[in-house]
Structure 1
Amino acid sequence: MSDPEMAWVPEPPLRVSCHGLLDRDTLTKPHPCVLLKLHSDEQWVEVDRTEVLRSCSSPVFSRVLALEYFFEEKQPLQFHVFDAEDGATSPRNDTFLGSTECTLGQIVSQTKVTKPLILKNGKNAGKSTITIVAEEVSGTNDYVQLTFRAHKLDNKDLFSKSDPFMEIYKTNGDQSDQLVWRTEVVKNNLNPSWEPFRLSLHSLCSCDVHRPLKFLVYDYDSSGKHDFIGEFTSTFQEMQEGTAKPGQEMQWDCINPKYRDKKKNYKSSGTVVLAQCTVEKVHTFLDYIMGGCQISFTVAIDFTASNGDPRSSQSLHCLSPRQPNHYLQALRAVGGICQDYDSDKRFPAFGFGARIPPNFEVSHDFAINFDPENPECEEISGVITSYRRCLPQIQLYGPTNVAPIINRVAGPAQREQSTGQATKYSVLLVLTDGVVSDMAETRAAIVRASHLPMSIIIVGVGNADFSDMRLLDGDDGPLRCPRGVPAARDIVQFVPFRDFKDAPPSALAKCVLAEVPRQVVEYYASQGISPGAPRPCTPATTPSPSP
């Protein structure tokens, strides 16, 4: 199955190498690792790190570093190089080899940045340098699964067998070689089978199936002076053609040029076999949207008595002419973005926890436009208009039951699921002020909904205790229904509005909607559903301004 984690995050892959790292003592070379930090919220936060290379003063790391790139933000970065000998996991005074600072924008715009490493006293770390290369983010979403093994490799060890590993390089446009993968070491084995691995077609060959690939096999040595066993070359096209039929494998002679040139009867230093070469398509959120998938947005508003009398200035539902209340602010911020992904821009809007006319019975899923046959409102401005008209006509009551509205939205989502197509994904926005009264029923409803094309966003309004909401979010572990059945996937995102009341509206929207693209891709990928064909372009419509 495609890995959805690869699907929605635009990341420029950063490749890192160092040259001339300082030796911590005269007898051993460092075991370097590079730690990447991002300056965020007034502090430096680790976002990624490379693997550790043993006994190497000029390492070329195979693990790419990745972080989200935002054109509209300045993203200061720090690269810390440290010696991971003795199990060190972070730079200490006695393991620190140097660091440098730059912005992600500088790396992306220049594509390659080489900077000196600086010690903590501000001086250069000798002639040590670090080079960061940003690879272009390709439009292709193909990933390749490869499995290699080898037979009868040369033995390079005197008292035991070789400990072979293999490196794969692609040839760049300037004829330089770029490391793209390093297998694990298989100890004491001349017939190793390396673990299957998966990487993007862009990483492997820059999406050029004819690009030369070089394969080098070594005998691992803990000193860092690995013994060369042999090499061979190929292309991705050749690898595909050689494994096209079921069960078909491809093999190469592993050649040591020195032996070939010196030994008269030399044939090879073993053979390497490609046992698996499969290509899979990883779809993105944009693939589904461009393929015709609509985001069906539904609003549910808490009208329980704990919000306070709307006629009071202290009420969370107070309709002040000076400033919109928190319900309206959240609705505008989140709904304003969601409506761009819905072609008809008509949104069902419901209330819960109020007594409603004409009989003033308590309802937990009433249409705020009082039209149960057609609860849809025209654009987010229509939802806001219906909310304003609804307030004076209802009596705030209780309890705070959330399960009924979740079940109501799950109905259309279930019908969508039965089509087996990616045409409509439901997003429910719940605006509430407090503790959920029907917690058991709500947990069960969410677990059922986790199997459907559906996400739930909960915005907590006011200063109540929202611990129940954080439980529903599932960030501390999978949510389970009362019978212990876990959710199939995490579909709930909760945020308290009070954390954003002094921030611009975009901050709230960015936070609560951040998970939706992942959830969309995760659902359809888990069902094996591909996007539809891209839709033809149609003129954009401009939503009317919110009142």
Structure 2
Amino acid sequence: MGGKSSKGSIVRDYSSYGSANSSSSWNQYGYPPASPYPYPSSQQSSYYASPQHHEPAPGSQRTPQHPQKRLDRKYSRIADNYQTLDQVGARSFNRRSLHHLGNGQNPYEQAISIIGRTLSAFDEDNLIPCYGFGDASTHDQDVFSFFPDERFCNGFEEVLMQYKEIVPNLRLAGPTSFAPAIEMAITIVEQSGGQYHVLLIIADGQVTRNADTRHGQLSPQERRTIDAIVRASEYPLSIILVGVGDGPWDMMREFDDNIPARAFDNFQFVNFTEIMSKKYI
């Protein structure tokens, strides 16, 4: 469950899943809209292929670039100065905290309930590894289990029940990175002997991009998250990020569409709030 707030990650071993695709430009961050690969060559990320302006010679094939392996996993800490949960829910949740527990379901409860009912049909053992991140103990560096003994939840009903138990005791903190949740999912896939899994991340905001990050460059949290997404594409693992609250979601759409170094398109973004608002129009 980070950054602006606490996020939740759920790992399931499914044979299929549903998702939504979307696209956008990077103009919000000062990137040129004409190119789908927004990073300048002097600071080019090794996970984004350089744009080509010529056609290959007849009969020749372009050799795909292999992403450079991550060597340094130490990333800087950034002060906790991000939007609060009531700010990211100003429009969609009447300025209440997105984790507010009351008579009706908050956006996290809605997402867990609706998506859980959909995905349960594809699960055999009904055991769900559940983790949170983005509290004062994990920040952008780690995840915490929904249970002290790290056991799995038995069905989405228990996921929802345990979520309600955890939230009142959390002290939320930033910055936000999805890398710890993705890396935990990779570990689970490895421990399963390579069974196909789906990582479901429910989040109210995107990866931290602090004021010190220069236009056209990645923050430490963005870079580590991209590293993790690329590495995850080497495993039978699909990642679905479900966005709740007001966003913004520009970066998540870029993660969905514009990381060509991946072995396959393993990241899908779903704007849950937008979908639900259309449902009730």
The structure whose Rg is larger is 1
Match of 2:178 in 1: 402
Match of 1:385 in 2: 161
Picking from 125, 139, 146, the partner of 1:368 is: 146
- Aligned pair in 2 of structure 1 residues 407, 467: CA closer, same or farther (>3 Å)? same
Match of 1:429 in 2: 200
Aligned mates of 2:148, 2:86 — CA distance in 1: 22
Match of 1:414 in 2: 190
Aligned mates of 1:339, 1:305 — CA distance in 2: 33
Aligned mates of 2:131, 2:188 — CA distance in 1: 15
Aligned mates of 1:473, 1:395 — CA distance in 2: 30
The offset of 1:355, in angstroms, is 2.3
The structure where helix makes up a greater share of residues is 2
1:325-344 equivalences in 2 (<5 Å): 325-344=106-125
Aligned mates of 2:264, 2:136 — CA distance in 1: 35
Name the SS of the counterpart of 2:100 in structure 1: coil
Aligned mates of 2:136, 2:192 — CA distance in 1: 32
The offset of 1:308, in angstroms, is 4.0
1:263-412 equivalences in 2 (<5 Å): 306-308=84-86, 314-321=96-103, 323-356=104-137, 362=139, 364-372=142-150, 374=151, 376-412=152-188
Match of 1:469 in 2: 252
The offset of 1:504, in angstroms, is 4.9
Match of 1:487 in 2: 262
CA contact (8 A) 1:305 1:398 kept: no
Q: Provide, for residues 69-113 of structure 1, a one-character-per-residue CA deviation record: whole Å limited to 9, x for no partner.
A: xxxxxxxxxxxxxxxxxxxxxxxxxxxxxxxxxxxxxxxxxxxxx
Aligned mates of 1:318, 1:379 — CA distance in 2: 23
CA contact (8 A) 1:417 1:453 kept: no
Aligned mates of 1:381, 1:334 — CA distance in 2: 12
The structure where strand makes up a greater share of residues is 1
Name the SS of the counterpart of 2:168 in structure 1: helix
The offset of 1:384, in angstroms, is 0.4
What is the identity, as a one-letter code, of the residue corresponding to 1:432?
A: A
Name the SS of the counterpart of 1:355 in structure 2: coil
TM-score w.r.t. the length of structure 1 is 0.31
| Structure 2 unmatched ranges of 5 or more | 1-15, 17-81, 209-220
Aligned residue pairs total: 182
RMSD: 2.6
The offset of 1:503, in angstroms, is 4.7
Among all aligned residue pairs of Structure 1 and Structure 2, give the percentage whose two residues are the same amino acid.
Answer: 32
1:49-448 equivalences in 2 (<5 Å): 306-308=84-86, 314-321=96-103, 323-356=104-137, 362=139, 364-372=142-150, 374=151, 376-416=152-192, 424-437=195-208, 438-448=221-231
Aligned mates of 2:135, 2:123 — CA distance in 1: 29
TM-score w.r.t. the length of structure 2 is 0.59
CA contact (8 A) 2:207 2:251 kept: yes
Q: Provide, for residues 394-415 of structure 1, a one-character-per-residue CA deviation record: whole Å limited to 9, x for no partner.
A: 1011111110110110112234
Aligned mates of 1:367, 1:305 — CA distance in 2: 25
Match of 1:264 in 2: none
Name the SS of the counterpart of 2:248 in structure 1: coil
Match of 1:69 in 2: none
CA contact (8 A) 2:86 2:95 kept: no
Match of 1:83 in 2: none
The offset of 1:497, in angstroms, is 1.8
- Aligned pair in 2 of structure 1 residues 447, 348: CA closer, same or farther (>3 Å)? same
Aligned mates of 1:318, 1:501 — CA distance in 2: 18
